[in-house]
Amino acid sequence: MDFTFNEDQLVFHDSVKSFLTNEVTPERIREQWTTESGRSSDLWDQLAELGLTAMTVPEAFGGLGMNELDFILLAEECGYVALAEPLVDTVLVAVPLINSLGNEQKHFKESWLPRIAEGKATVAVGHQNNPLVADAHIADLLLLPNGNEVHAVPSEQVELLLNESVDPSRKLYKVTWTPSAETLVANEEEGKKLWEATLNRGALAAAAQQLGLARRIVDLSVDYTYERKQFGKPVGSFQAVKHHMANVAVKIEFAKAPLYRAAYDIAEGLSTAGRSVSHAKLATSEAALLGAKNGIQVHGAMGYTWEVDLHIFMKRAWALDASYGSQGFHKKRVKDSLLAEGALLGAGNSFVN
Amino acid sequence: MDLNYTDSQKAFREEVRSWLQANVPSEPLKSFDTSEGFRQHREWEAKLNDGRWGMVTWPEELGGRGCDLIEWLIFEEEYYRANAPARVNQNGIFLLGPTLMEYGTEEQKARFLPMMATGEEVWAQGWSEPGAGSDMAAIRSKAEKVGDHYVINGQKTWSTRAVWADWTFGIFRTDPDSSRHKGLTFILVPLDAEGVTVRPIEQLDGLPGFAEIFFDNVKVPAENVLGGEGMGWHVAMSTAGFERGLMLRSPARFQETARRLVELYKANQEEADIDPVIGDAVIKAYLDAEAYTQTTYMTASRLVKGGKIGPESSTNKIFWSELDQKMHETAMSILNARAELWPHAPQAGEVGKWLDGFLFSQAGPIYAGTNEIQRNIIAERMLGMPRA
């Protein structure tokens, strides 16, 4: 029993963290809001150079052959900086979906995975739980459900309609397309399992970012409570303000282990993954949403402005809450699992699969 | 990361489980806040100690098994699963014991630890005073050095287990000109010493679970000082530290409450679902108990590998105390009109121990540092917010 990350994971985390905080600044994010695509190919190249786009691509396809657990701390940092580029979805959702396709898709994998690893191709993924497809406009390929079938559709065969989100960084599209025998890569039966696994990975991706966002909101808010003075003192010295932040810190502390546990369950292919992921999504969203609510409160009127950076992170937290399953969806999954006949509950059963 | 138990951890679990199966009393003991229950619990401590299960983290020469924190968590899981008796000497074995091992002289360890392990000497805590609760550094009880003795005068209050306990430990002001955290000394005091008066305080359940202790020229030999004169605050902070907190409120306790809550909900689901928030609260409680468990395993793994605990550990107490309160509130909602009835009431039916637990859960956010104080600590030491 060892619930810690190893040295390699921690060292890689440190280096990616400092890259992201240096490069993906609020100024850069605001700059990207003014561009048409909202995405930076320069930044994507840099991420690829660090090996990040290759992380979960198997070595046989030119990747690093790492798993969800190896990436989870990095996904958290992507949330911390509110990265607009679809790195987390690529590594945790798109690549594993392509890689889980059957052996008959070997050629398909060979043609896409190495290019994704190199940062030369991007893939957007649709899902039954998400009415819109994120980042479809920069995708070379879209993986889309038709019932439970999985279709791989080249970008020139889709029509996109932008739906503006509260988060100016989010690019969401209604995708119109026609399924065909040429685009089919997994049938109903196989696809059902693939979409279930995709839901878990997508929810894990959102959860990791929510935790990072919650941490960032607390950091920004604490800084602000030093700057802002009232009654001759920094507002952060008042207990009511302190307790708003402490309450978020408590939620954050107890969302970490469920998140890492969920990543572990997925990486190890455990049957408990569904419940673990739902727990992680609920716990991290709770932290992020309370962070947003208390963060804006301690910022006072400044928190309600476009000028202060808080909203970059707060809006992402609001947006991700329903991504890959609303709270109700995840609560129901947990409930069904806890109330199931023969469910192993209570002390000593936390790590039984 | 490897979330599987090793073979030796599995074997340890089996050993604990089979010993408890053979030895846990089939009839529940009376509350240890009654005279008879106290005696029963003291006997249980002796039995545990005979089996070398009294304090598994203690070294072997003290009757322990030298277990690490992961094994401790396993032991606790089995202990709560077996519904074994509450630990009447918890202030001794979980709080003072480890502190004695850290700061005690060889003579002190030899004098106090074995008697503590057998339950022959049960300990009460003596932290709070009428004017020093959340503000513990406002302590006024004095201990004056006279020759090879200290003479203690003053009053402690909210002393858990003091009514039937044999000894108390606490901090006293040894430097009369000192203030706040300085000039305090950690002293061990026998409760049968001349000049000690213990006045029971009835708790919410009507039982004398804690007491006031009055000291009127109580003479205590200088060798009862732990950690040296003037070091009281430092020693006390270690007693209140994370690992002690973990010992006192290990996750298994809350996981078992959460499991019972799920069962209670399942048995009464149709009636409970009239209020849809109940089902939601049950799920949330179960997940929070899991989160507390996983987080504790994560911290324990880090400590076992030589890591250090940080100020984030002050989030623990808020989390478990509010979880405990919420779980019991939810159980009361499910029990509906029977919730207010004691188990012995003729119409109570199978209400179990929920009412007792509900009452006790109200104390959680108050004792061991109120949750407001914990939030200040989190804000200032963990988040670095400006001091008032």
Determine contact: B15 vs chain A, CB below 8 A: no
How far apart, in whole angstroms, are the C-alpha atoms of residue B8 and residue A3?
A: 17
For B70, which of A1, A253, A261 is closest by C-beta distance? Answer: A1
Determine contact: B309 vs chain A, CB below 8 A: no
Candidate CATH numbers 3.90.1150.10, 3.30.70.580, 3.40.50.800, 1.20.140.10; the one for domain A190-339: 1.20.140.10
**Residues with Cβ < 8 Å from B280, sequence gap 6 or more?**
A331
The amino acid sitting at A330 is H
| Sheet bearing A159-164, strands edge to edge | A133-134, A171-176, A159-164
Mean pLDDT of B302-330: 92
Question: Token pair of B55, please?
Answer: 């304090």
**Residues with Cβ < 8 Å from B163, sequence gap 6 or more?**
B33, B198, B200, B208, B209, B210, B211
How far apart, in whole angstroms, are the C-alpha atoms of residue B113 and residue B57?
A: 13
Say what the pLDDT of residue A332 is. Answer: 97
Say what the pLDDT of residue B309 is. Answer: 81
Out of A59-68, A315-324, B45-54, B131-140, least confident range: B131-140
Cβ(B37)–Cβ(B205) below 8 Å:
no
Cβ(A135)–Cβ(A39) below 8 Å:
yes
Cβ(A88)–Cβ(A205) below 8 Å:
yes
**SS3 labels along chain B:** CECCCCHHHHHHHHHHHHHHHHHCCCCCCCCCCCHHHHHHHHHHHHHHHHCCCCCCCCCHHHCCCCCCHHHHHHHHHHHHHCCCCCCCCHHHHHHHHHHHHHHCCHHHHHHHHHHHHHCCCCEEEECCECCECCCHHHCCCEEEEECCEEEEEEEEEEEECCCCCCEEEEEEECCCCCCCCCCEEEEEEECCCCCEEEEEECCCCCCCCEEEEEEEEEEEEHHHEECCCCCHHHHHHHHCCHHHHHHHCCHHHHHHHHHHHHHHHHHCHHHHCCCHHHHHHHHHHHHHHHHHHHHHHHHHHHHHCCCCCCHHHHHHHHHHHHHHHHHHHHHHHHHHHHCCCCCCCCCCCCCCCHHHHHHHHCCCCCCCCCHHHHHHHHHHHHCCCCCC
Residue ranges of the domains in chain A? 190-339
Query: For residue B378, what is the nearest residue in chain A, using CA coordinates?
Result: A246
**Residues with Cβ < 8 Å from A153, sequence gap 6 or more?**
A141, A142, A143, A144, A177, A183
Residue ranges of the domains in chain B? 7-88, 123-236, 249-382
**Residue B242 — pLDDT band, cuts 50, 70, 90?**
low
What are the CA-CA distances from residue B254 to residues A209, A281, A345, B260, B323 (Å)? Answer: 29, 22, 12, 10, 8
Q: Report the residue count for chain B.
A: 388
The amino acid sitting at B120 is E
ipTM beyond cut 0.90 = yes
For A283, which of B70, B287, B388 is closest by C-beta distance? Answer: B287
Cβ(B228)–Cβ(B242) below 8 Å:
no
Q: Do A236 and B386 touch (CB under 8 A)?
A: yes
pTM: 0.97
- Residue A63 DSSP code: S
Going by their DSSP bridges, the two strands B142-146 and A233-234 should be labelled as: unpaired
How far apart, in whole angstroms, are the C-alpha atoms of residue B85 and residue B29?
A: 7
Say what the pLDDT of residue B244 is. Answer: 62
**Residue B308 — pLDDT band, cuts 50, 70, 90?**
confident
pLDDT digits (tens, 9 = 90+) for A230-283: 999 999 999 999 999 999 999 999 999 999 999 999 999 999 999 999 999 999
| Sheet bearing A149-154, strands edge to edge | A123-125, A141-146, A149-154, A184-186
How far apart, in whole angstroms, are the C-alpha atoms of residue A222 and residue B379?
A: 9
Question: Token pair of A22, please?
Answer: 């240096």
pLDDT digits (tens, 9 = 90+) for A325-337: 999 999 999 999 9
pLDDT digits (tens, 9 = 90+) for A125-144: 999 999 999 999 999 999 99
pLDDT digits (tens, 9 = 90+) for A270-291: 999 999 999 999 999 999 999 9
Mean pLDDT of A340-352: 95
Q: Which helix (H) or strand (E) holds A172?
A: strand A171-176
The amino acid sitting at A268 is E
Catalytic (active site) residue B106: no
Chain A residues within 8 A of B288 when measuring between CB atoms: 254
How near does any CA of chain B get to the CA of A138, in Å?
Answer: 36
**Residues with Cβ < 8 Å from A194, sequence gap 6 or more?**
A97, A100, A101, A150, A186
How far apart, in whole angstroms, are the C-alpha atoms of residue B325 and residue B365?
A: 8
How far apart, in whole angstroms, are the C-alpha atoms of residue A310 and residue A29?
A: 12
Q: Do A351 and B288 touch (CB under 8 A)?
A: no
- Residue A210 DSSP code: H
Q: Report the residue count for chain A.
A: 353
Mean pLDDT of A300-307: 97
The amino acid sitting at B311 is P
User: Chain-wide mean pLDDT for chain A?
Assistant: 97
| The pLDDT of residue A194 is above 90 | yes
Coil, strand or helix at A51: coil
Say what the pLDDT of residue B71 is. Answer: 97
Query: For residue A264, what is the nearest residue in chain B, using CA coordinates?
Result: B1
Q: Does the domain spanning B249-382 belong to CATH 1.20.140.10?
A: yes
Coil, strand or helix at A37: coil
| CB burial readout B123-161, b (16+ within 10 A) else e | bbbbbbbeebbeebeebebbbeeeeebbbbbbbbbbbbb
Helix axes A188-227, A310-320, angle to 10 degrees: 150
How near does any CA of chain B get to the CA of A105, in Å?
Answer: 32
Chain A residues within 8 A of B76 when measuring between CB atoms: 347
Cβ(A298)–Cβ(A221) below 8 Å:
yes
pLDDT digits (tens, 9 = 90+) for A37-72: 999 999 999 999 999 999 999 999 999 999 999 999
| The pLDDT of residue A162 is above 90 | yes
For B379, which of A246, A334, A347 is closest by C-beta distance? Answer: A246
CATH superfamily entry for domain B123-236 = Butyryl-CoA Dehydrogenase, subunit A, domain 2 (2.40.110.10)
How near does any CA of chain B get to the CA of A201, in Å?
Answer: 19
Q: Do A239 and B372 touch (CB under 8 A)?
A: yes
Say what the pLDDT of residue B246 is. Answer: 74
For B1, which of A4, A255, A347 is closest by C-beta distance? Answer: A4
Say what the pLDDT of residue B350 is. Answer: 86
Long-range contacts at B371-375 (CB < 8 A, ≥ 24 apart)? B371/B317, B371/B318, B371/B321, B371/B322, B372/A239, B372/A243, B372/B134, B373/B134, B374/A246, B374/B314, B374/B315, B374/B317, B374/B318, B375/A239, B375/A242, B375/A243, B375/A246, B375/A247, B375/B318
User: Chain-wide mean pLDDT for chain B?
Assistant: 94
How far apart, in whole angstroms, are the C-alpha atoms of residue B139 and residue B129?
A: 7
Q: Do B384 and A222 touch (CB under 8 A)?
A: yes
Q: Which residues pair with B145 in a beta bridge?
A: B150
**Given the residues B71, B121, B129, B243, the one annotated as active site:** B243
How far apart, in whole angstroms, are the C-alpha atoms of residue A46 and residue A98?
A: 23
- Residue A90 DSSP code: I
**Residues with Cβ < 8 Å from A308, sequence gap 6 or more?**
A224, A299, A302
Going by their DSSP bridges, the two strands A229-230 and A233-234 should be labelled as: antiparallel
- Residue B55 CB neighbour total at 10 angstroms: 28
**Residues with Cβ < 8 Å from A192, sequence gap 6 or more?**
A148
Say what the pLDDT of residue A157 is. Answer: 98
How far apart, in whole angstroms, are the C-alpha atoms of residue A146 and residue A158?
A: 14
Say what the pLDDT of residue B243 is. Answer: 63
Chain A residues within 8 A of B283 when measuring between CB atoms: 331, 334-335, 338
Q: Do B290 and A350 touch (CB under 8 A)?
A: yes
What are the CA-CA distances from residue A196 to residues A175, A261, B283 (Å)? Answer: 21, 18, 22
Q: Which residues pair with B353 in a beta bridge?
A: none
How far apart, in whole angstroms, are the C-alpha atoms of residue A63 and residue A98?
A: 13
Place of tokens 């709560």: B80
Say what the pLDDT of residue B238 is. Answer: 80
**Residue B109 — pLDDT band, cuts 50, 70, 90?**
very high
How far apart, in whole angstroms, are the C-alpha atoms of residue A204 and residue A255?
A: 12
| The pLDDT of residue B249 is above 90 | no
